[in-house]
Amino acid sequence: MARSQAIVAEGLTKSFGKTRALAGVDLSVAEGTVLGLLGPNGAGKTTTVRILTTLLKPDAGRALVAGIDVAKHPDRVRARIGLTGQYAAVDENLTGRENLILFGRLYRLAKRDAVRRAEELLTQFDLADAASRVVKTYSGGMRRRLDLAASLVVSPPVLFLDEPTTGLDPRGRLGMWETIEGLAGSGTTVLLTTQYLEEADRLADRIVVIDHGAIIAEGTAEELKARVGGERLDVVVAQHDDVPTARRILEALGGAEAQVDVAERRVTAPLPGGAKRLAAAVREFDSSGVELVDFVLRRPTLDDVFLSLTGHAADVTGNGNGGGNDAPPNGKVKAEADLALAGTKER
C-alpha cells in the first residue's frame, strides 16, 4: 500500500526584499521516510524548513504537515513536529538534565513525566554521564545531541533537521548519523537539509536537490547517480603542468567534458565501457609521458550529480549561515523557534 504523505509543499515562494529565496518549491515526504533536501549555502533549504515549521509565512503556495495546513493552523502543526536548527537552542548555563526537563515542562508535561523523559533521552543520546554538567562545558557534538534530544521530548511524528551535523568533527558526525538512522527506523518522518553529499547518500530514502530557490532534481541516490552516466575514470597527475594533457586524454576517451581540480591535480571524466576501456586509457597516458599518482575507475557519486546539475560543486564551508539567497538567521527568528517548539500556545 502507498504511504500517506507526512509533508507536502506546493508552489512555495518567498522573497526577502529584492532577494528571491524560493521560486515555487514542490516536495513531498512519505510517512516514516527520510527526505534529504540537498543544496549549497543560500539555496533555499532553511527558508523551506522555516515555512514548513510555521516560523515563516510563504508569499504564495501552501504546505501541509501531518495533514495540517501550516498557515491556517500553526499551533496544531507545532504540536506534531520537532526541529533541530543550525544553532543549538539550549541554555548554556543549565545542565543537560535541566535543559531537557525545562523543555518537557514547556511542552506541558507534568514534572514527574518531564524528569522521566529527560532521563530516557540522556541515556538514548549517550549523555547520562554528563547530565549534571552545565552545557557550556559540552563539546560541539554533545550540544548537537542534546539539541536533538530536546526536539524529541514529546516524540513528534515529524522531525525537521536543518544541517544537524554542520561543524561536527567526523566522529561526531558519524554518531549523529547513527542517531538519525535510529529515529527513522522507529517510524519518525524526517526532513533533513544538508550540504554534505555523503550524508544524503547514507541517510535519505529520497533526495531533492535545490539551487537558487528551485527544485532542480529529485529521486533516490541511485536514480540521481544514474543521470550522470556510467563509470568514471579519476586520475591524479604528479605535475601541475600535466593537468591539461590529462584532461585532453580523458575527454578524448570518454567523449564528454572532464572535471578538473587544479589544486589537487585531479581530472575526472566518464569512461564508456568501464573496465573494458582501462587498457586503452593506460596506453594513452603511457605514450603521453604523463606520470600518474592515482588512477581509479569508480561509480558516480552525489558530488558528480551535484556538479552535473548545478555547474558547481556543493559549498561545504561549514559556516551554517544559510547565506546567499536564503533567509538570514537572527535573534528574533531563534526566539520564535524556541517558542514554537516549546508548544506554549496550544497543546
Residue 196 has pLDDT above 90, yes or no: no
Same domain (yes/no): 281, 141? no
Distance of CA 183 to the CA centre of its chain: 15
Same domain (yes/no): 44, 146? yes
Question: Is 347 among the domain residues?
Answer: no
Same domain (yes/no): 52, 75? yes
**148 vs 20: CA distance, rounded Å:** 30
Question: Is 173 among the domain residues?
Answer: yes
CATH number at residue 30: 3.40.50.300
Per the structure, the count of domains in the chain is 2
**208 vs 230: CA distance, rounded Å:** 21
CATH number at residue 239: 3.30.70.100
Sign (positive or negative) of CA dihedral 137, 143, 145, 146: positive
Same domain (yes/no): 158, 244? no
Residues 6 or more apart in contact with residue 280 via CB below 8 angstroms: 253
Residue 343 has pLDDT above 60, yes or no: no
Sign (positive or negative) of CA dihedral 193, 176, 171, 118: positive
Residue 133 has pLDDT above 70, yes or no: yes
Question: Is 128 among the domain residues?
Answer: yes
Same domain (yes/no): 258, 180? no
Query: pLDDT tens, 298-340?
Result: 777 777 777 777 665 555 444 333 344 454 444 333 434 444 4
Same domain (yes/no): 289, 206? no
Q: What predicted TM-score, i.e. pTM, was given to this entire model?
A: 0.73
Residue 148 has pLDDT above 80, yes or no: yes
Residue 12 has pLDDT above 50, yes or no: yes
Distance of CA 111 to the CA centre of its chain: 34
Same domain (yes/no): 19, 129? yes
Q: Which of 26, 47, 22 lies closest to 35 in space, CA to CA?
A: 26
Same domain (yes/no): 176, 267? no
Query: 243 lies in which domain range?
Result: 231-299
**39 vs 225: CA distance, rounded Å:** 16
Query: pLDDT tens, 204-241?
Result: 999 999 988 999 989 998 888 777 767 788 889 999 99
Residue 244 has pLDDT above 80, yes or no: yes
Query: pLDDT tens, 42-82?
Result: 889 999 999 999 999 999 999 999 999 999 999 999 989 98
pLDDT at position 274 is: 64
Stronger pLDDT, 238 or 343, i.e. the higher one: 238
DSSP letter assigned to residue 289: T
